[in-house]
Amino acid sequence: MRARAVERAERHALPALAVTTVLVLLGIFYYPVATVFRESVVVDGRATLSVFWAVLSDPFYFGELGRVLNGTPPSAVLDSLLSGDPRLGVVGFTAYQAALSSVASVALGLPAAYLLSRYEFPGRRTLRSLTILPFVLPSIMVAVGFVATFGQNGTLNTVLGALGLGQVDLLFTLEAVVVAHAFYNAPLVARVTTAAWESVDASAVETARSLGASPRRAFRDVVAPQIYPAVVLGAVLTFVFTFGTFPIVLALGGFELATVEVFVYRLVRDLEYAEAAALALVELGVSLALLYAYLRYEARHTVSAEGIRPLPRRPLRPPSLSFRELAPRVGLALYAVVALAVFVAPIASMVSASLTGPNGPTLAHYEFLLERQVSGTSFQVQPWDAVRNSLLFAGAALAVALPMGVVVAVLTTRRYRGRKVLDAVAMAPLAVSGIVVGLGLLRGLVFGVEVGGTRVAVGGALAIVAAHAVAGYPFVVRTVAPGLAGLDRSLVESARALGASRARVLTDVELPLVWPAVVAGAAFAVAISIGEFSATVVLASGTSQFTMPVAIERFIGRRLGPATAMGVVLLVVTSASFLVIDRLGGETDAF
Amino acid sequence: MRRRNFLSAAGAAVATTVAGCSGIAGQTESDDERTLVVGTYSAFIDAPSTSPGAWLKEQFEAEFDARLVWQTPENGVNHYIERQAAGVDTETDVYVGLNVDDLVRIDQELEEGLFVAADDVDGSDGVKSSLAFDPESRAVPYDTGYVSLVYDSTRTTAPETFDGLLAEESAGDLIAQNPASSATGRAFLLHTVSRFGPDGYLDYWADLQANDVRVLGSWSDAYSAWSSGEAPMVVSYSTDQVYADRNDADLQKHQVRFLDDQGYANPEGMAVFADANEPDLAREFLSFMLRPEVQGEIAVRNVAFPATEDAQLPDDYARLAHEPPEPVTFTYDDLAGNVGTWVEDWERQFAEN
């Protein structure tokens, strides 16, 4: 009797989850965001494309394209295109900057993935867990770290001066912005690529080798095709994120390098919603087009897998002094120097800023945190509460984002027409301007909607968790879906033939086979939740629901100390969380 | 879309009646414990240095036998504009922290007033007339700041004039802020409009840009870059030495310069919401904020200048908090219909790609 009930519940588990997922997405994301985007096409109650046209045909935003559209003679546009210095417009410049950031992130992320997936050394697992750390840091902390590292009186110049190499002036340039974006996103590239590399089946490589392929050939024909999609995914996500970037550009570059999002912010602040929404839609269009192109590519390049026996890792210490053994390790050593400068130095600077006062080393900033905790009033942000909330929200968001992500991954790996479009639409939370999401949540949820004369408003902890889950679940989809698509269908079919429900096949057969991807997705979902700011401040019903990034923002003042001390707390708590996730997630070697 | 029920009608009525009639009747609760909800910006109640919020709450509650609840919406007064436009009650009695362009934006956006006139609250006649910035007397000033240059005199001597900033020796020396995301950045931009006129300020900025001025995002971006020695001058507040002194910093590294002997005044105002639940208590709160001892306390804790003539300030306050020989500021009428264009034209010139 009970077995029957369990069976029935199992049979309906997936459809029920799918319906819930769609409802959550509609309520927390698509509807609120639509209320804002509507502003660009409905002006004074009438549908119009005039606002859109005005933005598209504005050379300030669209450069030469805008000039063509606003009626500049084509010959004049052609002349400036050929002159070698065409007008990019804000949108063009933002794309250019995002493309550079993607290249830099791949360049800095790939060697890390190679090191983490192909070499064995003490602390490897810890290092792998911590690679994602930069991804969660609030931009204000990154700016502080970068000024202290690459500024005129920064660490880099101190080191160069000691070596007698002169001074470099890196700040307030496009280069500084690109390196900061790589700081954020190279970990993303490294993490997804590592997961893909660890999922490569060793037997396929062995087969190729036994058929006479050289190691290089085996890598090119067997290993690389399974890694490419992950690398491209990392590049595409970096582009999408840096295309919608805002605070970092102004903190480390300056207003000359203003991106589209800078103008979205200003227009929203001045309540010029029509133009703001039109610009944000342009952002979304570019990002979704790119994601859609990636999804088409991913679908063509899924490699079918039957199980995982990861490639054996090599020891980091060279077994012999031959060129073949030394060359990659020397390369990794050089990379380590660069990684120290780009990733470790800024974080170390934050830590040192939190321990420094005007008169040398001090613990005063940590005392400030304690004092705030002990004697702060109810309407002030309390550090411990912020830590607790961050962890609670991250845990709960993970519990929601994982099933959501897996369900959407299952739905989009079935074969039907238009599934790639659906898949791209499901990725929208990655691509929508954070400013627009915040405004949409305010209007759609916090103010509520009139239902039959009463106002239904949503806010507080549950809404925050839902918003964090919506922001994080696309990562779960993107890490899990390729693995699921590549699984041998006969596994699923034989399990089904033996009477297992679809849900049971998923949890007992399919997910264990793509487990590294599930763990990587989980880590991203947690990272997104811990770093999230804009939805949290809008939905929190009071200071008691504020998280670590909000506390950091509140503690910014004339002295950097209090904010950086809170930043160090965030670093420690986040590091611990990622170590726990990876330990609980286990190593793939366990299979 | 922007229709409100009876409150909108009431609000419109209030906005057009002579001030003094105390507006709409909120829900008159029993008088055992009244609650006053006050919206403000977060630094007013929760800054890492000092902020007046806790002290004000304690004093007010002790005297008025009421509860004071602070609210700090992330997008400031825009939050309430949004609420009213969506037809939702603001559920707030007072807003603390209005400036001139907030009022311009409110009046541009909303058909009926968000706030009611409050020029007859006790003590409002003590407010310095130079600070009054609302022609409709809704916003009552409670403090003011002056935006100036702050410079490290161990590294440079700041020029004395705007034109001096264009000189060769000042190249790359100044960090300013984005007018859209920072109050100081906005004030500095408006100061240049005031100094060179709406027809001349863009030319001045073109020269300033050629001389390598840095325009960063927020005030804290700029101030922390300046503190780390990226440039010797930054656009900030003329009360900079008050903080520096508190943190035992070297005052030589925190010198204030009023270009052309002028500082741009940024008075902050407070106002009573048209749909306040406790309009009477709200007006008592405004009076309370204007008392001499409270004015002194706000100035010290918010590190600003009082709005009234008779504020009680500590004796050495003037030693560290500098007032410009000639305060300049734009009035509501100057800004209405212009400020948006000024900022946008500046953006389009400065960030042209």
Each residue's pLDDT tens digit, A273-289: 999 999 999 999 999 99
Give yes or no for B228 touching A (CB within 8 A). yes
Is it the case that residue B155 has pLDDT exceeding 60? yes
C-beta separation of B177 from B184 below 8 A: yes
Rounded CA-CA distance A281/A275 in Å is 10
CA distances to A235, B65, B85, B276 from B31, in Å = 63, 9, 31, 16
Rounded CA-CA distance A297/A283 in Å is 21
Q: Give the CA angle between residues A179, A184, B175 to the nearest 5°.
A: 55
| Structure confidence at residue A451 (pLDDT) | 79
Residues of A in contact with B54 (CB under 8 A): 377, 380
Instruction: Write out the two tokens for A346.
Output: 């800024």
| Structure confidence at residue A305 (pLDDT) | 63
| Structure confidence at residue B3 (pLDDT) | 37
Contact check, Cβ <8 Å, A559/B48: yes
| Structure confidence at residue B270 (pLDDT) | 98
Return mean pLDDT, chain A.
91
The residues near A306 (Cβ < 8 Å, ≥ 6 apart) are: A201, A487, A488, A491
Is it the case that residue B17 has pLDDT exceeding 70? no
Which one of B224, B248, B343 makes the best mutation probe of the A interface by having the most chain A beta carbons within 10 Å? B224
pLDDT by residue (tens digit) across B251-304?
999 999 999 999 999 999 999 999 999 999 999 999 999 999 999 999 999 999
The residues near A87 (Cβ < 8 Å, ≥ 6 apart) are: A59, A63, A64, A67, A80, B352, B353
| Structure confidence at residue A307 (pLDDT) | 61
Name which residue leads in pLDDT, B16 or A116.
A116
Is it the case that residue A543 has pLDDT exceeding 90? no
Contact check, Cβ <8 Å, B48/A447: no
Percent of chain A with pLDDT over 70: 98
Rounded CA-CA distance A245/A262 in Å is 8
Give yes or no for A455 touching B (CB within 8 A). yes
Contact check, Cβ <8 Å, B47/A557: yes
Q: Are strands B34-40 and B66-71 parallel, antiparallel or unpaired?
A: parallel
Is it the case that residue B28 has pLDDT exceeding 70? no
Contact check, Cβ <8 Å, A271/B248: no
Contact check, Cβ <8 Å, A380/B45: yes
Residues of B in contact with A438 (CB under 8 A): 74
Rounded CA-CA distance A290/A433 in Å is 16
Contact check, Cβ <8 Å, B81/A271: yes
Which residue type does B184 have?
T
Q: Which of A141-150, A446-455, B77-86, B124-133 has the lowest mean pLDDT?
A: A446-455
| Structure confidence at residue A150 (pLDDT) | 95
Contact check, Cβ <8 Å, B243/A438: no
Is it the case that residue A492 has pLDDT exceeding 90? no
Q: Which of residues 187-216 of B touch A (CB under 8 A)?
A: 209, 214-216
Name which residue leads in pLDDT, A198 or A295.
A295
Contact check, Cβ <8 Å, B228/A358: no
Instruction: Write out the two tokens for B42.
Output: 């977060």
| Residue entry with tokens 């925190």 | B254
C-beta separation of A472 from A517 below 8 A: no
Nearest CA in chain B to A148: B228
Give me the phi and psi of B134, to 5 degrees please.
-115, 110
Long-range contacts of the stretch A227-232 (C-beta < 8 A, 24+): A227/A193, A227/A196, A227/A197, A227/A200, A228/A301, A229/A196, A229/A297, A229/A298, A229/A301, A229/A302, A229/A482, A230/A192, A230/A193, A230/A195, A230/A196, A230/A197, A231/A106, A231/A110, A231/A189, A231/A193, A232/A294, A232/A297, A232/A298
| Structure confidence at residue A1 (pLDDT) | 64
Confidence of residue B6 (pLDDT cuts 50, 70, 90): very low
Which residue type does A108 have?
L
Give yes or no for A346 touching B (CB within 8 A). no
Of the partner residues B216, B223, B230, the one whose CB lies closest to the CB of residue A152: B230
Which one of A385, A558, A560, A564 makes the best mutation probe of the B interface by having the most chain B beta carbons within 10 Å? A558
Residues of B in contact with A272 (CB under 8 A): 340
Residues of A in contact with B82 (CB under 8 A): 439, 442-443, 447
Q: Which of residues 226-285 of A touch B (CB under 8 A)?
A: 247, 249-251, 254-258, 262-263, 265-266, 269-272
Q: Which of residues 59-78 of B touch A (CB under 8 A)?
A: 69-70, 72, 74-75, 78
- If you ran DSSP here, which 8-state letter would residue B22 be given? -
Task: Find, among B146, B139, B147, the residue nearest to B289 by Cα.
Answer: B139
Helix (H) / strand (E) element for A117: namely helix A89-118
Q: Which of residues 536-565 of A touch B (CB under 8 A)?
A: 537-538, 543, 554-560, 562-563
How many residues appear in chain B?
353
Strand, coil or helix: what is B258?
coil
Rounded CA-CA distance B249/B257 in Å is 18
Task: Write the DSSP string, B128-179.
Answer: -GGG---TTS-PEEEEEEEEEEEE-TTT----SSTGGGGSGGGTT-EEEE-T
Rounded CA-CA distance A223/A204 in Å is 9
Contact check, Cβ <8 Å, B105/A271: yes
Please state the rounded mean pLDDT for residues A346-375.
93
Is it the case that residue B190 has pLDDT exceeding 50? yes
The residues near A445 (Cβ < 8 Å, ≥ 6 apart) are: A27, A28, A32, A457, A458, A459, A463, A539
| Residue entry with tokens 């791209």 | A424
Rounded CA-CA distance A453/A455 in Å is 7
pLDDT by residue (tens digit) across B191-238?
999 999 999 999 999 999 999 999 999 999 999 999 999 999 999 999
Helix (H) / strand (E) element for A583: namely helix A561-585
Return mean pLDDT, chain B.
90
Of the partner residues A92, A147, A254, the one whose CB lies closest to the CB of residue B224: A147
Is it the case that residue B27 has pLDDT exceeding 50? no
Is it the case that residue A558 has pLDDT exceeding 50? yes
Contact check, Cβ <8 Å, B74/A147: no
Is it the case that residue B70 has pLDDT exceeding 60? yes
First to last CA, chain B: 38
Is it the case that residue A162 has pLDDT exceeding 90? yes
C-beta separation of B307 from B292 below 8 A: no
| Structure confidence at residue B335 (pLDDT) | 96
Nearest CA in chain B to A152: B230
Nearest CA in chain B to A257: B351
pLDDT by residue (tens digit) across A390-441?
999 999 999 999 999 999 999 888 777 888 888 999 999 999 999 999 999 9
CA distances to A30, B74, B75, B254 from A438, in Å = 12, 10, 10, 38
Confidence of residue B31 (pLDDT cuts 50, 70, 90): low
pLDDT by residue (tens digit) across A362-392?
999 999 999 999 998 989 999 999 999 999 9
Min distance A362 CA to chain B CA atoms (Å): 13
